[in-house]
């Protein structure tokens, strides 16, 4: 019987709840005579070599334990274990600098300034040079909206420069134009398994504070319009050689009808499996397809 590990964080140490959908995935795999079990990535007692496939699912504590997480991934790779998504893909996706790679390939992204660890920065000057009325600042490595700061105008930038330095000095971070359409129109999340589109949700909020402080916001299952699907397909074409088993693409349609990518999630995304009654089965089948190749 083949064995699969669904990798999670330690629920005793992290406030984030584990994805409840894993239980159904495990059940579907066991119906096909595949043994599946949740394993904590940071548990030193796990024998990863026993697994035919290691699937990173809910490792939502990795940004706070970045070096340890990278070391763990490196060990899996050096042991030549079958990991999805592939280790090199996760390492690439870990730093939001990947947005520049997407941009170079012709995929539209929001106006973005990358700031490296130790580099001097002035939020006022960045906003003034880019002609932004508002901006957001966030770590280049992070989950969700953790540690995201919204700057409301040039005066706010001046007043919060020292606060920003305190928060972001010593780490890599990005400064991005504030995207009003995320609040006014909503954000699309497109989910893919084996490179194929599965389902999508639309996330909306009535408050920028709710959105950017990582609090719950409303989402509903929707079928995307053709321009959103086309944008997602272009991104998946770019990713084809990376062979992701799962992927979530977060997109926003700007007021001038350009569709831009907000985030590309290849490590531990919420795949909103419960929003599509067929999604669990599709995901489980792609896992089985992958197992046939290992």
**Tally of helices (H runs) and strands (E runs) in the chain:** 11, 13
Answer whether CATH 3.40.50.880 is correct for domain 2-85+289-293: yes
Closest CA to 256 of 180, 202, 153: 180
Same fold, 2-85+289-293 and 112-178: no
Q: Where are the domains of the chain?
A: 2-85+289-293, 98-108+181-273, 112-178
Ramachandran assignment for 248, one of left (phi > 0), alpha (psi -120 to 50 degrees), beta (any other): beta
Answer whether CATH 3.30.470.20 is correct for domain 98-108+181-273: yes
Three-class SS state of 273: helix
Q: How far is CA 263 from the centre of its chain?
A: 6
Q: Using CA atoms, how far apart are residues 61 and 7, in angstroms rounded to an integer?
A: 12
Closest CA to 133 of 153, 160, 150: 153
Residue 215 confidence (pLDDT):
45
> Hey, what's the torsion of the CAs at 285, 288, 293, 294, to 10 degrees?
150
Give 251's contacts (C-beta < 8 A, 6+ positions apart): 187, 188, 189, 190, 228, 231, 232, 259, 260, 261, 262
User: What is the band of 160 on the pLDDT scale with cuts at 50, 70, 90?
Assistant: confident
Give 68's contacts (C-beta < 8 A, 6+ positions apart): 42
Residue 206 confidence (pLDDT):
60
Structure-model confidence comparison of residues 197 and 185, the more confident one: 197
Domain 112-178, second-level architecture: 2-Layer Sandwich (3.30)
Residues 34-67: tens digit of each pLDDT? 999 999 999 999 999 999 999 999 999 999 999 9
DSSP state letter for 225: P
Q: How far is CA 201 from the centre of its chain?
A: 15
User: What is the band of 211 on the pLDDT scale with cuts at 50, 70, 90?
Assistant: very low
Lowest mean per-residue pLDDT among 135-144, 202-211, 277-286: 202-211
**Mind giving me the DSSP string for 11-79?**
TTT-SSPPPTTHHHHHHHHHHTTEEEEEEETT-TT--GGG-SEEEEEE-TTGGGGHHHHHHHHHHHHHT
């Amino acid at each position: 019987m083949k064995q699969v590990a669904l990798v999670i964080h330690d629920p005793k140490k992290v406030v984030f709840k584990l994805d409840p959908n894993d239980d159904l995935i495990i059940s579907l795999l066991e119906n096909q005579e595949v043994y599946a079990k949740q394993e904590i990535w940071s548990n030193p007692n796990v024998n990863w070599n026993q697994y035919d496939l290691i699937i990173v699912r809910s490792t939502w504590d990795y940004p706070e334990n970045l070096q340890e997480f990278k070391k763990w991934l490196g060990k899996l790779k050096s042991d030549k274990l079958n990991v999805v998504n592939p280790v090199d893909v996760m390492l690439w996706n870990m730093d939001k600098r990947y947005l520049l790679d997407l941009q170079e390939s012709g995929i539209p992204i929001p106006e973005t300034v990358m700031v490296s660890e130790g580099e001097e920065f002035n939020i006022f000057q960045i906003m003034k040079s880019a002609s932004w009325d508002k901006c957001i600042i966030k770590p280049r490595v992070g989950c969700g909206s953790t540690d995201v700061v919204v700057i409301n105008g040039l005066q706010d930038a001046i007043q919060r420069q020292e606060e920003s330095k305190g928060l972001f000095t010593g780490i890599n971070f990005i400064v991005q134009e504030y995207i009003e359409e995320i609040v006014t129109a909503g954000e699309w999340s497109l989910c893919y398994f084996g490179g194929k589109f599965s389902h999508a949700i639309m996330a909306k909020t009535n408050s920028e504070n709710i959105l950017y402080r990582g609090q719950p916001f409303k989402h509903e299952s929707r079928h995307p319009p053709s321009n959103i699907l086309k944008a997602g397909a272009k991104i998946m074409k770019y990713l084809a050689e990376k062979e992701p088993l799962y992927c979530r693409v977060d997109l926003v349609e700007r007021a001038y009808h350009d569709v831009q990518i907000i985030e590309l999630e290849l490590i531990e995304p919420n795949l909103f499996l419960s929003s599509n009654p067929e999604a669990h089965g599709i995901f489980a089948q792609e896992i089985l397809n992958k197992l046939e190749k290992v």
